[in-house]
Amino acid sequence: MPGVLPDGEPVPADGSLPATATREVGARGFGVYVHVPFCASRCGYCDFNTYTAAELGGGVTREGYADTVLAELRLAARVLGDGPPRRVDTVFVGGGTPTLLPADDLARILDAVDRTWGLAADAEVTTEANPESVTPESLKALRAVGYTRISLGMQSASPGVLAILDRRHSAGRATAAAAEAREAGFDHVNLDLIYGTPGERAEDFARSLDEVIAAGADHVSAYALIVEDGTRLAARMRRGELPYPDDDVAADRYLAAEEALGAAGFSWYEVSNWARTPAARCRHNLLYWAGGDWWGL
């Protein structure tokens, strides 16, 4: 039996938005999220909406994906009609691995957002990336077309932990990519960590924190490993190949992150995020948390 609908106006069949939704679009900020679902391989812990080329089969292709996003953007412009946002404050390209698309395609998408709604002069423009999916040349190309922030999936400095998580990059590649991003001129560089992986020792996580700090990133995200149903990691644990994460260990890792990052000058500003300065905080995520408006493509 269907559940009771939540309070509010139902979604119109033609996809239009009710007047209450468009009356003050962007009054509390406006962001654009672009989802790029492609990955070179699927990590064992991941349950995000991502696909390898083989999984998509005859569906959407990387080669045509930018055009698909631009078509979605044209639809968004029609839906908002006479109530467009005053400006786009933040753009976040996530995935998946957005940097599996050519830099030219990521440039086309950003240019189309600008032409459709207008980027603020100080807009924060972020792309996620896996460390092995970028080069000094591609990073310079992204910076040149307006990307100001990059978020790199490091996860760990331990080869053993990376192997359990099915990560493709080497232990040192993430910090090297962070250095390349700084050299390319990115205003802000984030490194993602995952803690509590089976087999991870306290000294493994301490080393990861040390390397993040030494890499010169100005933002760090650290997440406790969550075992999601349907993932390869969950299946391995059900078979007894790996132990389940320990909540007490995860709590110890969190305290270790706060201690090490705090001592290095980072300030905690959200459950899993630390920034060196207020300017380094992820404005796109802050827009979500503050109830601002955004459109997903």
- The string of pLDDT tens digits covering residues 57-77 is 666 788 899 999 999 999 999
Q: Which domain holds residue 159?
A: 27-296
Structural domain contains residue 95 = yes
Examine the pLDDT at 90 and tell me if it is beyond 60: yes
Amino acid 268: pLDDT = 96
Examine the pLDDT at 35 and tell me if it is beyond 80: yes
Neighbour count for residue 142 (Cβ, 10 Å): 27
Examine the pLDDT at 272 and tell me if it is beyond 70: yes
Structural domain contains residue 192 = yes
pLDDT band at 169 (very low <50, low <70, confident <90, very high): confident
Structural domain contains residue 22 = no
pLDDT band at 171 (very low <50, low <70, confident <90, very high): confident
Q: Which residues are registered as beta bridge partners of 222? A: 193
Q: Which two tokens stand for residue 56?
A: 């998509």
Question: Is 93 in contact with 150 (CB distance < 8 Å)?
Answer: no
Structural domain contains residue 14 = no
Q: pLDDT above 70 covers what percent of the chain?
A: 95
Amino acid 57: pLDDT = 66
- Range with lowest mean pLDDT among 32-41, 74-83, 220-229: 74-83
Q: Which two tokens stand for residue 155?
A: 């996860």
Coil, helix or strand for 192?
strand
Amino acid 11: pLDDT = 67
Q: Which residues are registered as beta bridge partners of 223? A: 194
Examine the pLDDT at 167 and tell me if it is beyond 90: no
CATH number, domain with residue 177: 3.20.20.70
Q: Which residues are registered as beta bridge partners of 38? A: 51
Neighbour count for residue 67 (Cβ, 10 Å): 12
Amino acid 267: pLDDT = 97
188-195, strands of its sheet edge to edge:
267-270, 273-275, 219-224, 188-195, 149-155, 119-129, 88-95, 30-36, 293-296
Amino acid 283: pLDDT = 98
Cis link prior to 96 (omega < 30° from 0)? yes
Amino acid 28: pLDDT = 85
Examine the pLDDT at 142 and tell me if it is beyond 70: yes
Number of domains composing the chain: 1
Per the prediction, the chain carries an average pLDDT of: 91
DSSP type of residue 169: S
Question: Is 99 in contact with 130 (CB distance < 8 Å)?
Answer: yes
Structural domain contains residue 62 = yes
Structural domain contains residue 149 = yes
Q: pLDDT above 90 covers what percent of the chain?
A: 67
- The string of pLDDT tens digits covering residues 203-261 is 999 999 999 999 999 999 999 998 888 888 888 989 999 889 999 999 999 999 999 99
43 vs 228, more confident:
228
Structural domain contains residue 17 = no
- Rounded distance between C-alpha atoms, residue 175 and residue 191, angstroms: 8
Neighbour count for residue 214 (Cβ, 10 Å): 12
Q: Give the residue-averaged pLDDT of 47-54.
A: 76
Structural domain contains residue 252 = yes
